[in-house]
């Protein structure tokens, strides 16, 4: 019995290099399911001619991870390093497999900017089960192992030998499948964002490097001069930034469900063909307030420059950002901003968050006694997922049954769609209430523009939520709703032909139109204004 106990208590001894190799192999085999699914689409495993290529991919992936991770693996650091990598790989592999998420720099920015409330909705039972199998259990096994010790000379010789051997095999495997690899990575560049955990590590490094540079630089003004050239009558421009609303479920666009019954009764302009600048809030919101659209998108340039709100402030407007979400992504840093507070705003607020009707209440409160030309941006919670059922009051639950799970994989497709559409229905009420309030005002010209920042996938082709690289993003994530309401006094004072605006609405538009249209409505002259992108320019 004592011998058995001794054997069980004995801890296996392993070198840091061999331990790193074993973990790298496990990453390749068990944490990269979506990547292998994509590879199998291109190289059927049942065809003998594909076996060499598939083997080459596996060897290449393993060795690429190995030669990098081994640089940080010593007797004292190998376990902490591999434990962190296991946690990253397990988390990333779950979201990649469950939601078809691609972890590029944009998705990493999204994870870094996610607030605690949003994180809570992503902490599902499915995630914990996955982490238990792919993180906790491997870490327990890892802690059980004993790392071998040797003199520094022997350790250095061994590390150099392992490293050079790994590099030689890496080059050999790359040459073996170079023809196939170069072609497939060129035609399917998104595949690199499925390689776990390297996808997250590389993207995180890029994001942190870019953030460090941007924080050291002062924002570059978009324009040195901006001048208001309108008349003496006060203006109020309200821009509502929607969240995760897709055009496919927008009633005004002809959806087979009437999800916008109240807006359908208002005299407004609906834009059925609008494309977003990005597939995530982190990309789209800064882009919506920049002079660059998707065709000229440059995230670094947008990050380094001031926004539309700075230009309006320079022209003498009061500018206010009211947020019911996770912040303005740097757009409102140099203007006044407030956040809805569930402890103060009673209208539609719960203990944890406020429904978007709180934005209407805030709008009314802030415009009771308008004395200056003003621009107010209202940032909605909208249809933020995956907990669509939390985005609206119970009284707006028209479509049933609804998915009441944060883990969408536990719900059927129809219940997910029902919850999502109820949130659209509630947003219809919120926007209609804002328009009704503005319509009653007779002391200033008023206009309201609503545009969603990006769309949402509800399980089409196995894809959920949003944030796919734009190159491969489905229409559900890039085709967004947009509406525009103008008071009769604004139409008259600015000489806008309303019929012309309505006729042009069926043409293609994008987020690129917002920057220049708002400058046109504000009657601000500046060198960054482009009349070709102003939706009012041809109708004055």
Q: What is the CATH number of the domain that holds 351?
A: 3.40.720.10
In a domain, 347, yes or no: yes
In a domain, 407, yes or no: yes
Based on the domain organization, do 157 and 259 belong to the same domain? no
From residue 265, alpha-carbon distances to 269, 409, 423, 503 in Å are 12, 37, 19, 19
Based on the domain organization, do 209 and 289 belong to the same domain? no
Based on the domain organization, do 76 and 131 belong to the same domain? yes
Q: By C-alpha distance, which of 423, 429, 226, 219 is closest to 305?
A: 219
Phi, psi at residue 146, to the nearest 5°?
-115, 130
- Find tokens 């490094």 and name the residue: 205
Determine the number of helices (DSSP H) and then strands (DSSP E) in the chain: 21, 15
Report the pLDDT value the prediction gives residue 345, as an integer from 0 to 100.
53
Q: Can you tell me the mean pLDDT for 308-322?
A: 96
In a domain, 223, yes or no: no
Based on the domain organization, do 436 and 312 belong to the same domain? yes
DSSP type of residue 333: T
- Name the percent of the chain lying above pLDDT 90: 57
* Confidence tier at 209 by pLDDT (50, 70, 90): confident
* Confidence tier at 318 by pLDDT (50, 70, 90): very high
Q: By C-alpha distance, which of 478, 162, 518, 122 is closest to 307?
A: 518
Say which residue, 468 or 251, is predicted with more confidence.
251
Say which residue, 139 or 342, is predicted with more confidence.
139
pLDDT for residue 449 is more than 90? yes
From residue 430, alpha-carbon distances to 151, 245, 363 in Å are 70, 14, 12
Choose the final residue of a domain: 214, 246, 273.
214
* Confidence tier at 344 by pLDDT (50, 70, 90): low
Tell me: the pLDDT tens digits for 144-185?
999 888 777 777 888 888 888 888 888 887 777 776 776 677
- On average, the pLDDT of the chain sits at 89
From residue 272, alpha-carbon distances to 215, 241, 247, 248, 252 in Å are 38, 17, 7, 9, 8
The whole-model pTM stands at: 0.83
Report the pLDDT value the prediction gives residue 446, as an integer from 0 to 100.
96
* Confidence tier at 119 by pLDDT (50, 70, 90): confident
Based on the domain organization, do 208 and 346 belong to the same domain? no
* Of the listed ranges 80-89, 304-313, 352-361, 372-381, the one predicted with least confidence: 352-361
Based on the domain organization, do 143 and 7 belong to the same domain? yes
Tell me: the pLDDT tens digits for 516-538?
999 999 999 999 999 999 999 99
CA 428 to CA 360: how far, in whole Å?
12
- Specify whether the CB–CB gap between 223 and 454 falls below 8 A: no
pLDDT for residue 202 is more than 80? yes
* Confidence tier at 6 by pLDDT (50, 70, 90): very low
Q: By C-alpha distance, which of 68, 84, 257 is closest to 166?
A: 68
Based on the domain organization, do 385 and 275 belong to the same domain? yes
Q: Domain total for the chain?
A: 2
Choose the final residue of a domain: 185, 214, 243.
214
Based on the domain organization, do 423 and 530 belong to the same domain? yes
From residue 304, alpha-carbon distances to 109, 215, 464 in Å are 16, 9, 32
What the block records as the tokens of 3 is 């011998």
In a domain, 508, yes or no: yes
Q: Can you tell me the mean pLDDT for 350-367?
A: 88
* Confidence tier at 9 by pLDDT (50, 70, 90): low
In a domain, 181, yes or no: yes
- Which of helix, strand or coil describes residue 256? coil
pLDDT for residue 370 is more than 80? yes
Tell me: the pLDDT tens digits for 453-462?
999 999 998 8
* Confidence tier at 70 by pLDDT (50, 70, 90): confident
pLDDT for residue 211 is more than 70? no
Q: By C-alpha distance, which of 370, 377, 387, 284 is closest to 339?
A: 377
Tell me: the pLDDT tens digits for 261-273?
999 999 999 999 9
DSSP type of residue 395: G
pLDDT for residue 5 is more than 50? no
Give CA angle at 305 (302, 311), nearest 5°. Answer: 115
DSSP type of residue 218: P
Tell me how crowded residue 470 is: count the other CB atoms within 10 A of its CB. 19
Report the pLDDT value the prediction gives residue 8, as an integer from 0 to 100.
45
In a domain, 240, yes or no: yes
Range of the domain at 500: 233-539
Residue 222 C-beta-side C-alpha neighbours within 13 Å: 28
Residue 273 C-beta-side C-alpha neighbours within 13 Å: 6
- Specify whether the CB–CB gap between 223 and 527 falls below 8 A: yes
In a domain, 96, yes or no: yes
Based on the domain organization, do 326 and 468 belong to the same domain? yes
**Which range in 112-126, 240-254, 466-480 is most confidently predicted, on average pLDDT?**
240-254
Based on the domain organization, do 280 and 186 belong to the same domain? no
DSSP bridge partners of 447: 237, 486
In a domain, 111, yes or no: yes
Based on the domain organization, do 240 and 208 belong to the same domain? no
* Confidence tier at 214 by pLDDT (50, 70, 90): low
- Axis crossing angle, helix 78-99 with helix 16-30, rounded to the nearest 10: 0
Interacting residues of 499 by C-beta distance below 8 A, sequence separation 6+:
none
Give CA angle at 534 (530, 535), nearest 5°. Answer: 165
The string over 244-265, giving b where at least 16 C-beta atoms fall within 10 Å of a residue's C-beta and e elsewhere, is bbbbbbbbbbebeeebbebbee
Report the pLDDT value the prediction gives residue 55, as an integer from 0 to 100.
85
pLDDT for residue 415 is more than 50? yes
The string over 138-160, giving b where at least 16 C-beta atoms fall within 10 Å of a residue's C-beta and e elsewhere, is bbeebeeeebeeeeeeebeebbe
**Which range in 51-60, 106-115, 225-234, 330-339 is most confidently predicted, on average pLDDT?**
330-339
Based on the domain organization, do 268 and 144 belong to the same domain? no
């Amino acid at each position: 019995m004592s011998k058995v106990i001794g054997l069980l208590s004995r801890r296996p001894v392993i070198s840091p290099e061999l331990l790193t190799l074993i973990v790298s192999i496990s990453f390749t085999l068990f944490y990269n399911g979506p990547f292998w699914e994509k590879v199998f689409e291109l190289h059927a495993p049942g065809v003998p001619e594909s076996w060499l290529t598939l083997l080459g991919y596996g060897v290449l992936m393993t060795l690429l991870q190995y030669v990098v991770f081994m640089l940080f693996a010593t007797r004292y650091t190998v376990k902490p390093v591999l434990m962190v990598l296991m946690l990253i790989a397990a988390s990333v592999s779950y979201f990649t497999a469950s939601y078809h998420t691609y972890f590029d720099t944009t998705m990493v920015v999204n994870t870094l900017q996610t607030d605690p409330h949003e994180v809570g909705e992503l902490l599902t039972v499915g995630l914990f089960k996955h982490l238990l199998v792919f993180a906790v259990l491997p870490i327990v096994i890892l802690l059980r192992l004993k790392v071998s010790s040797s003199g520094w000379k022997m350790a250095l010789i061994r590390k150099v030998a392992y490293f050079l051997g790994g590099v030689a095999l890496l080059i050999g495997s790359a040459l073996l499948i170079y023809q196939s690899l170069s072609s497939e990575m060129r035609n399917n560049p998104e595949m690199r964002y499925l390689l776990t955990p390297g996808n997250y590590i590389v993207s995180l490094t890029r994001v942190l490097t870019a953030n460090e540079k941007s924080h050291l630089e002062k924002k570059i003004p978009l324009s040195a001069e901006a001048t208001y050239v309108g008349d003496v009558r006060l203006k109020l421009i309200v821009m509502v930034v929607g969240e995760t609303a897709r055009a496919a479920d927008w009633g005004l666009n002809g959806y087979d469900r009437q999800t916008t019954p109240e807006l359908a009764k208002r005299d407004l302009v609906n834009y059925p063909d609008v494309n977003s600048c990005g597939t995530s809030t982190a990309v789209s919101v800064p882009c919506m307030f920049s002079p660059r659209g998707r065709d000229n998108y440059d995230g670094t340039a947008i990050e380094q420059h001031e926004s539309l709100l700075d230009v309006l402030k320079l022209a003498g407007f009061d500018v206010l950002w009211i947020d019911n979400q996770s912040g303005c992504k740097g757009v409102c840093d140099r203007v006044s901003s407030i956040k809805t507070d569930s402890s103060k705003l009673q209208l539609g607020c719960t203990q944890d968050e406020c429904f978007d009707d709180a934005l209407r209440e805030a709008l009314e409160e802030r415009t009771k006694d308008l004395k200056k030309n003003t621009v107010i941006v209202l940032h909605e919670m909208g249809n933020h997922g995956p907990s669509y059922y939390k985005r609206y009051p119970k009284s707006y639950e028209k479509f049933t049954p609804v998915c009441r799970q944060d883990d969408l994989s536990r719900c059927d497709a129809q219940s997910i769609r029902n919850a999502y559409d109820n949130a659209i229905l509630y947003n219809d009420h919120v926007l209609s209430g804002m328009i009704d309030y503005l319509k009653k005002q007779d002391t200033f010209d008023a206009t309201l523009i609503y545009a969603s920042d990006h769309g949402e996938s509800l399980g089409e082709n196995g894809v959920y939520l949003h944030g796919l690289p734009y190159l491969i993003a489905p229409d559900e994530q890039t085709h967004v709703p947009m509406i525009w309401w103008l008071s009769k006094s604004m139409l008259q004072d600015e000489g806008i032909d309303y019929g012309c605006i309505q006729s042009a609405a069926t043409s293609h538009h994008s987020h690129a139109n917002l920057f220049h249209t708002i400058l046109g409505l504000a009657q601000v002259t500046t060198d960054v204004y482009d009349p070709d992108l102003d939706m009012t320019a041809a109708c004055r």
